Structure formats: C-alpha cells, structure tokens
Amino acid sequence: NYPARVKIIDVGPRDGLQNEKQPVAAAVKVELVQRLQDAGLKEIEVTSYVSPKWVPQMADAASVMAGIDRRGDVRYSVLTPNMQGFEAALAGRPDEIVVFGAASEAFNQKNINCSIAESMERFAPVVRAALDAGIAVRGAMSCTVGCPYEGEIAPEKVGYLAGLMKGIGVQRVDVADTIGVGTPIKVQKALEATLAHFGIDQVSGHFHDTYGQALSNTLAALELGVWNFQSSVAGLGGCPYAKGATGNVATEDVVYLLHGMGIETGIDLDKLIDAGQFISQHLGRPTQSRVAKALLIK
Ligand code: HMG
Ligand code: MG
C-alpha cells in the first residue's frame, strides 16, 4: 500500500554543490533553482549559512537567496547550524531552516565541530527563534545507518537523536544515509526508530547513492508509508565530511520510479532532465542520473 503522492525536496543547489571544488557562480545556482521550480519542484534546499572556511562553495548564500525569483507555492530551505548562521539567513527570508546533527558522535564532531549534546544546545535557540519568526524547522540526521568513522549505526542511536530533535521543537526530520551504505531493512529500522518520535508526515528519506542502494531504500521507505524524500538533480553531490561519499540519489531516477508506480509528484521529468543537463554542462561532467542518461540517448 504505497502513498498516492510523494513530495520531493531537491537538495541539489545545497547538498549537490557544497562539495564542488570549482567555484560555481551564484547566478548559476540561481538559475538552477529557477529551472527546478519550473520543473515543478515545490521544495528546494537552496544553500547553507555555514563557515566559508569549512565549506567555501556556500559562501555566497546571501547572494543566492537574494537572487532567486520566489514563487509563493515553493518552499525554500537553508541550513543554519548555529545562531550566527540563523541571523545571517534571516535577510534571505527562508521558508524553512534546517539544523543538522548526526546519529554518530564522531561524525557530528567532524561535521559541525561539537558533540551531539552540544549541538542540541546550539540548535535550541535557533529553533525557538525560527518558530517565533514564523519559519518552519527541519532537522537533518546524518549517518542513520552507517558512519565513515564508527561503522554501522544502531537504530537506538537514531531514535535517541530523533528524540532530542523533537525535544527542542524541530517539526520534521530527514533520515539520512550520508555514505549510502544502507540496505532496505536497515533503512526501515532507522526510519522506524524515528517514527517513534515523529509522525509519518514528518519523516523524510535522504539517501546518498554511493553503493547504488538508494532507489531500493526509497522503495523500502515507501513501504512504511514515508512520502517525503530528498534527492539531487543529476545526482549531484557528496558531503565534505564524509570521504568518498557520492551524491544524493538523482531526482530524475526517483521521479521515474514513482511515476512508474503511479505515484504523483507534480514534477515534469523532461524539464527536470533539462535542469540536470544545465548544471552538468556547467560543471563539465555527465549527469549521474541513469534515467537522464537513458532518455537523452533515445
Ligand atoms: P566552529 O568553528 O565550531 O564555530 O564551527 P565557532 O562558533 O567556534 O566559530 C569559528 C569561526 O567560524 C568564526 O570565524 C565564526 O565567525 C565562524 P573566525 O572568527 O574564525 O573568522 N562561523 C560562521 N561563519 C559563517 N556562518 C556560520 C558560522 N558559525 C561560525 N554559521 C560550524 C561550527 C558549524 C559553523 C562549522 O563547523 C561549519 O560551518 N561546518 C560545516 C558544516 C557543513 O556545512 N556540513 C555539510 C552540510 S551537512 C550534510 O551535508 C549532511 C546532510 O546532507 C544529511 C546527510 O546526507 O547526512 C544534511
Ligand atoms: Mg546529504
């Protein structure tokens, strides 16, 4: 019994580009956002307000947010790891901010330079300030099945983090397989541990495709009734703090899977493929989307 419709957050402009070594002009990011919304995406993760020393590619967050042509029916989200990031983000009027932690202590430390407990102390005032300002709050949970430093992650650790996120007022959470090591049953366990704290409408799947398992994991999540997913156009990306981690599952591939199952997304696959071609050509490498490759040859 699969959901009748699915909502996709394209995280390409943020997760997809954050690890890109060559500088990508803000105007290109703005056009990517434009093409994604033209293709029917209703949620786009645009950028992050993080330290430019840690993630130089996101240093233009303010220009990108200022440059996009906002549509009233699209939700634009941005990452804000602390109060400094949140205050910087305000001028760009994000619809939603994202705080981000990890189920693994070691990854949390490498990614945001503090322990899980400390991160909650940093996030709590950010969450309160956002909610007071009428901005929605999402929590991203990294390494929910495996960690590059700690190996396999027990579902209990995911449940623990989800409980902390809930406790500080986060409204919905992403269950992320940061390094793409997950397989369907393990991913379902991570999702179930999260569902002990959040309703089915508040839990999304964020699967990197490093081991080629992301579509299987998407199907496994759909089986549980999960209907919110994050993916990157053209399969862009990788996390700077997860060595060897490749991009998110390609949005084109997820859309093809869903449409093939009769599940509605509101996304125009052809326009999405064009958006993927736009950014892939700009980066000078082929798309990572199998569906785009297949359809472009036809
Ligand atoms: P820190 O060094 O612990 O922070 O960094 P600090 O408060 O001690 O400040 C040190 C310096 O950073 C200061 O500058 C601050 O001004 C600056 P200095 O005086 O040395 O020149 N700073 C900032 N600058 C801009 N924006 C800010 C900010 N905060 C401090 N918000 C911090 C802590 C979190 C900022 C840092 O560790 C950082 O930026 N990390 C990058 C994290 C990141 O972007 N990771 C990738 C995104 S998460 C991801 O990809 C996973 C996800 O996709 C899910 C999945 O797949 O797993 C979401
Ligand atoms: Mg990610």
The ipTM of this complex is 0.98
Residues with CB under 6 A from ligand 1: 15, 18, 48-51, 54-55, 79, 81-82, 84-85, 88, 100, 111-113, 140, 142, 176, 178, 206, 208, 239-241
Whether residue 57 contacts residue 24, with contact meaning beta carbons closer than 8 Å, is answered with yes
Q: How far is the CA of 54 from the centre of ligand 1 (A)?
A: 6
Cα three-residue angle 66-67-69, rounded to 5 degrees:
105
Residue 272: enclosing H or E segment and its boundaries? Answer: helix 269-283
**For position 245, what pLDDT does the model report?**
74
d(CA 34, CA 64) in angstroms, rounded, equals 11
**For position 238, what pLDDT does the model report?**
62
What count of other Cβ atoms lies within 10 Å of the Cβ of residue 199? 8
**For position 171, what pLDDT does the model report?**
99
List the chain residues with pLDDT less than 50.
none
Whether residue 72 contacts residue 51, with contact meaning beta carbons closer than 8 Å, is answered with no
**For position 242, what pLDDT does the model report?**
67
**For position 137, what pLDDT does the model report?**
99
Q: How far is the CA of 175 from the centre of ligand 2 (A)?
A: 10
Instruction: Give the ligand with the smallest distance to the CA of 144.
Output: 1
For the chain, the first-to-last Cα distance in angstroms comes to 33
- Indicate the burial class of 74 (C-beta count within 10 angstroms; 0-12, 13-18, 19 or more): middle
d(CA 222, CA 165) in angstroms, rounded, equals 23
**For position 239, what pLDDT does the model report?**
61
Residue-wise pLDDT for 20-74, tens only, equals 989 999 999 999 999 999 999 999 999 999 999 999 999 999 999 999 999 999 9
Closest ligand 1 atom, CA of 82?
A: 31
d(CA 204, CA 175) in angstroms, rounded, equals 6
Query: Measuring from atom 14 of ligand 1, which residue has the nearest CA?
Result: 51
